[in-house]
Amino acid sequence: MKKLLALLLAFAMIFAMAACGSQPAAGGDTAEKTWEDELGTKGLLRVGMAADYPPYESYDANGNVVGLDPDFAELMADYLGVELEIVPMSFDTIVSAVAAGTVDMGLSCFSYTEERAAAVLFTDTYMTSTQVCFASTQHGINSLEDLKGGLVAAGNGTTGYYLMEELAPTYGYDYQTSEIAIMAEALKAGTLQAGITEQCVADSYIAANPGDFKIIANDMTVEEIKAIANFNSPKLVEKINEFLADFVGSEAYDELLVKWFEQELE
Amino acid sequence: MNAIERILTPENLKFMLLGAKYSLLIAIFALIGGSVLGLLAAVAKMSKIKPARIIANIYVEVIRGTPMMLQILVLYLCGPVITKALFNFVFTPNPVLVGIIAIAINSGAYSSELFRSAIQSVDKGQWEAAQTIGLSYTQTMKEIIIPQAFKRILPPYINEFIVLIKDSSLLANIGAVELLHSAQVIGAKFYNYLVPLLCATVMYLVVTLFISFCARKLERRLAESD
């Protein structure tokens, strides 16, 4: 048994070392590379998304990922002149997947944080968002103060999760991780007292379930939403920033926001 | 090397060990709960009362015919709805507690078959002999059948315990504290999944290999007394 464990630990170390190897790149190496060389597969932009986050990204009836971020990714791929592949994954694994090079970019309503910036490169901001706390209308929860002794949830690895962790001593609640779809259902049932998520996501769940949910705390943080890429892809990020500089604030950009946000709020 | 040093800090290791402790506790309590349910279901399945047999059969077939993940989610989401309907009171379940109940219900269905086959594997002649010397049904069960069945059940039963330790990882989906969940939280925090997952692998293996090791010892000792 001891030998087996020793062997396993050895494997663990090899893997971990391999994982480190893929982080910050040698400067001289990237200098000659173009953004096209930085893609994992030539002519293909693979983008990781967590498709349970409407209106940013969710599945439609045919099983396609649709939303603001897929549209954005499509426009980026068009600008680069490459094919787009959307890779659905759970939100908490996207940063690791980008850092490991499993996908070229992550576009899943990522807020800029220093912790994330230590693991991946961020592009320029393409919009801003805030975190809100929402609850069921049925169980008498009207403010953060009402959460004392209750149970609150947020997605693993989201900025909402760390915010929730920070506020827990102040408001005296227990907290846990939860996927957003399970969270919404658990709020209705009374399994959870409140959930913390991005404002437009909360709005879309509220719009989809009329009368079931309400927001009990607004604007808990203000965050800059950016796309993320591997440290080995500075040229790709430059190219995406070129696109964003042209696109953000243009008429087409406004149309895109209206398409995904107004529709949800109607 | 820096990823390991950065992630496997004493603090994070403590956090993962806490998860491992919960995984073990979940498995132990679920095994106990599952044994009670399983024994009841096994007795009901073999009883002469038809409704008891029907209920036990439905229980076993429903649980064995649906995925465990689904059972956990249904219990997690329906728990408060059921208590509200029955007692007009919303019960806020602790995800660990819900997990233990869900896994116990699941394990009960599987162990009922274990118990039933072990009890039925004891030779019919012993029942007849017990009756001849005037022992009641309960006495026969307690004094003669169960001690023999116990020995036969031990290896698959310990296997069930190991299965439960691994199955407790499904509770990560409802946010219960356990080993895989701890690894995921650390993975998300440090943006490196591989190191915490491999650390969890080692922890799971230490626990399960230790249990199989003890099981082999115990089996050998029981074999000696035969």
pLDDT tens track for B190-220: 888 889 999 999 999 999 999 999 988 988 8
**Token representation of residue B143:** 């004094």
**Separation in Å, CA A192 to CA A131, A149, A177, B71, B76:** 18, 11, 11, 18, 10
Report d(CA B50, CA A208) in Å as an integer.
47
A236 plus A119 within the same structural domain: yes
What's the pLDDT tens digit per position in B127-138?
889 989 999 888
Both A110 and A66 in a single domain? yes
Q: Do residue A139 and residue A214 come from a single domain?
A: yes
- Rounded to 5°, the CA angle B202-B208-B211 comes to 140
Rounded mean pLDDT, B62-73 = 94
Q: Which residues of B touch A191 (CB under 8 A)?
A: 76-77, 79-80, 92-93
Q: How far is B211 from chain A (nearest CA, A)?
A: 12
Closest residue in chain A to residue B213, using alpha carbons only: A1
**Are A39 and A115 within one domain?**
yes
Please indicate, yes or no, whether residues A89 and A107 belong to a single structural domain of this protein: yes
Handedness of CA A241, A246, A248, A252 (dihedral sign): negative
- The domain of A85 spans 31-129+224-265
Residue B13 to residue B18: CA distance in whole angstroms:
8
Q: Is A171 found in the same domain as A159?
A: yes
Per cent of chain B over pLDDT 70 is: 97
CB contact under 8 A, A189 and B1: no
Say yes or no: A232 and A193 in one domain: no
Q: What is the pLDDT of residue A263?
A: 55
Which among B79, B192, B202 has the least Cβ separation from residue A12?
Answer: B202
Q: Which residues of A touch B189 (CB under 8 A)?
A: 115, 157
Partners of B80 on chain A (C-beta within 8 Å) are: 189-191
Residue B4 has pLDDT above 70, yes or no: yes
Q: How many domains is chain A partitioned into structurally? A: 2
Contact at CB, B209 and A1, closer than 8 angstroms: yes
- Let me know if residue A1 belongs to a domain: no
Question: What CATH number should be reported for the domain holding residue B77?
Answer: 1.10.3720.10
pLDDT at position A74 over 80: yes
Whether residue A232 sits in one domain with residue A122: yes
ipTM associated with this complex: 0.76
- Average pLDDT on A64-80 reads 93
Quote the minimal CA–CA distance from A228 to chain B in Å: 13
Q: Which chain B residues touch A119 with a CB distance below 8 Å?
A: 190-192
Task: Please answer whether residues B162 and B208 qualify as being in contact, where contact means their C-beta atoms are separated by less than 8 angstroms.
Answer: yes
| Contact assessment for residue B170 and residue B102, using Cβ atoms and an 8 Å cutoff | no
Q: Which residue of A has its CA nearest to B176?
A: A176
Kindly report the pTM of this predicted structure: 0.81
CATH of residue A84 = 3.40.190.10
Q: Which amino acid is at B99?
A: G
Number of domains in chain B: 1
Among A13, A191, A231, the strongest candidate for a mutation testing the B interface, having the largest count of B CBs within 10 A, is A191
Question: Binning pLDDT at 50, 70 and 90, where does residue A265 land?
Answer: very low
Pairing of β A105-111 and β A44-49: parallel
pLDDT in tens, A23-38: 444 444 545 788 988 8
In a domain, A6, yes or no: no
